[in-house]
């Protein structure tokens, strides 16, 4: 188990200056923040530090301004949203280092909160420039990283600062690391992984790592078509990467060596056109897909068989929907399997961890996100974790 300091290790911080890396890369439409999930994730850390009397300076990036000041990507635009979630006044500082920041710290009282400007306005952020790191660190007493979602990047504010200041994991970072450790570090066995989504090619590393870690690998979504085709099954017009047949065979062989059982759908939902409730919709055995049909979901009886697999498992890692869930009724397998995982989790027989942009959307759509043990909203960082990679932002926090 990776060891790191947490907020529990911080005492006597009244009046001290805390640099807190958070995720404020909020989805926005026409200048209005449309989703506050990321602010809610870091609110406990921010409020705990403020309540302990620290002067809390929030560091975050927004968009990809590539080292230039871009007025439409200023973090001043999220101040109102952050104030709303925290229920506190939040100051905005248009710099991340230097005299303006120093002056602002002079104005802030113990327990006050400020957001510094978009860290990516400075070229040194993404280059992890030691000079920028030093300049940012100069005014602070300690550093807290609460942005797991940015931990796969070795940038000045996600990694560099941890080397020059006493460094701590925030509450959201701590929860994420504990959940991922429980799922893949030292999990209760048997472990199942559900991997779905559009393409095998986007998740090759995930599949290659998971076959060595889990007892059951359940493949769904478009990527199941690539596996089926590689096994000689005619998948018609389905989304399929025919050129990956050899890769699929390698993954199957690696699974075999590692003692991992790979589950492919044997019954599928097909249609001639990709539309909601299409007239040509039918359910069939994988061997009966016609040349002009595409596979868009896993069939209900195959889902039942997968449910039986999950019932024997103690841990589940899930990334990728089982079908084209945005279009009804191709959400059925994802919703059904999610409900089973949620019920097993509620009963206490399963530890369930899920992540991925579309996966989180699908679990929310199924109405069960709250029942999973942990849902990672970290996107790229979550995927890199389940690829078995070390995340620089996490390594830098390790003691």
* 273-281 own/partner pairs: CB under 8 Å, 24+ apart: 274/324, 274/327, 275/327, 276/327, 276/328, 277/328, 277/329, 281/329
Per CB under 5 A, 196 contacts Mg ion: no
CB under 8 Å to 371, separation ≥6 — which residues? 342, 343, 345, 346
Per CB under 6 A, 222 contacts ligand ADP: yes
Shortest distance (Å) from residue 53 CB to ligand ADP = 40
The pair phi, psi for residue 200, each rounded to 5°, is: -65, -40
Could you tell me how many residues of this chain bind ligand ADP (CB under 6 A)? Answer: 20
Report the residue number whose CB is nearest to ligand ADP.
Answer: 197
Shortest distance (Å) from residue 268 CB to ligand ADP = 8
- What whole-number distance in Å separates Cα of residue 26 and Cα of residue 267? 40
Return the residues of window 293-312 that contact ligand ADP according to CB under 6 A.
295-296
CB distance 270 to 236 below 8 Å: yes
Instruction: Return the active site residues.
Output: 38, 199, 357, 380
Query: Which of these ranges, 24-32, 89-97, 176-184, 316-324, lies near ligand ADP under the rule CB under 6 A?
Result: 316-324
Query: Which of these ranges, 171-179, 180-188, 351-359, 386-394, lies near ligand ADP under the rule CB under 6 A?
Result: 351-359
Query: Which of these ranges, 3-11, 153-161, 323-331, 384-392, lies near ligand ADP under the rule CB under 6 A?
Result: 323-331
Beta bridge partners of 218: 194, 263
The pair phi, psi for residue 12, each rounded to 5°, is: 55, 55
CB atoms within 10 A of CB 277: 10
Shortest distance (Å) from residue 321 CB to ligand ADP = 5
The pair phi, psi for residue 246, each rounded to 5°, is: -65, -40
Question: What is the x/- site pattern for Mg ion, positions 322-361, by CB under 5 A?
Answer: -----------------------------------xx---
One of 35, 51, 68, 326 touching ligand ADP (CB under 6 A): 326
CB distance 34 to 162 below 8 Å: no
CB distance 117 to 96 below 8 Å: yes
Q: How would you class 18 by CB atoms within 10 Å of its CB: exposed for 0-12, middle for 13-18, buried for 19 or more?
A: buried
Return the residues of window 250-279 that contact ligand ADP according to CB under 6 A.
none
Of 289 and 366, the one with the shorter C-beta distance to Mg ion is 366
Return the residues of window 354-393 that contact Mg ion according to CB under 5 A.
357-358
Question: What is the x/- site pattern for ligand ADP, positions 173-212, by CB under 6 A?
Answer: -----------------------xxx---x----------
Shortest distance (Å) from residue 383 CB to ligand ADP = 7
- Number of H-type helices and E-type strands within the chain: 15, 17
Q: Applying CB under 6 A, which residues contact ligand ADP?
A: 196-198, 202, 221-222, 239, 295-296, 319-321, 323-326, 356-359
Q: Which residues bind Mg ion (CB under 5 A)?
A: 357-358
């Amino acid at each position: 188990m990776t060891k790191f300091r947490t907020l529990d290790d911080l005492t006597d911080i009244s009046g001290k200056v805390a640099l807190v890396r958070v995720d404020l890369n909020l989805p926005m439409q026409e200048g209005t923040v449309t989703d506050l999930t990321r602010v809610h994730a870091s609110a406990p850390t921010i409020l705990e530090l403020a309540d302990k009397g620290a002067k809390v300076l929030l560091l975050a990036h927004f968009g990809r301004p590539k080292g230039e000041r871009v007025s439409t990507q200023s973090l001043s635009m999220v101040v109102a949203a952050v104030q709303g979630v925290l229920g506190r006044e939040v100051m905005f500082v248009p710099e991340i280092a230097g005299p303006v920041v120093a002056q602002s710290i002079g104005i802030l009282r113990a327990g006050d909160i400020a957001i510094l400007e978009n860290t990516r306005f400075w070229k040194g952020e993404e280059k992890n420039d030691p000079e920028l790191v030093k300049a940012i660190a100069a005014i602070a007493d300690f550093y807290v990283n609460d942005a797991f979602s940015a931990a796969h990047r070795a940038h000045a504010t996600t990694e560099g600062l941890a080397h020059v200041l006493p460094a701590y994991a925030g509450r959201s970072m701590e929860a994420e690391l504990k959940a991922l450790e429980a799922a893949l570090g030292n999990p209760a066995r048997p472990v199942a992984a559900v991997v779905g989504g559009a393409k095998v090619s986007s998740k090759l590393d995930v599949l290659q790592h998971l076959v060595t870690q889990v007892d059951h690998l359940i493949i769904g979504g478009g990527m199941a078509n690539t596996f089926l085709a590689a096994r000689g099954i005619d998948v018609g017009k389905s989304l399929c990467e025919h050129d990956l047949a050899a890769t699929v065979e390698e993954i199957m062989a690696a699974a075999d060596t590692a003692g991992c059982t790979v589950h492919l759908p044997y019954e599928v939902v097909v249609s001639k056109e990709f539309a909601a409730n299409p007239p040509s919709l039918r359910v069939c055995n994988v061997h009966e897909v016609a040349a002009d049909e595409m596979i868009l979901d896993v069939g209900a009886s195959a889902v039942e068989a997968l449910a039986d697999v999950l019932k024997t498992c103690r841990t589940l890692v899930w990334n990728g929907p089982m079908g084209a869930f945005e279009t009804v009724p191709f959400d059925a397998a994802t919703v059904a399997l999610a409900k089973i995982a949620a019920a097993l989790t509620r009963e206490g027989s399963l530890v369930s961890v899920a992540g991925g942009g579309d996966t989180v959307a699908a679990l929310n759509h199924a109405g069960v996100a709250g029942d999973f043990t942990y849902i990672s909203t970290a996107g790229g960082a979550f995927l890199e974790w389940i690829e078995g990679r070390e995340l620089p932002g996490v390594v830098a926090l390790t003691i």
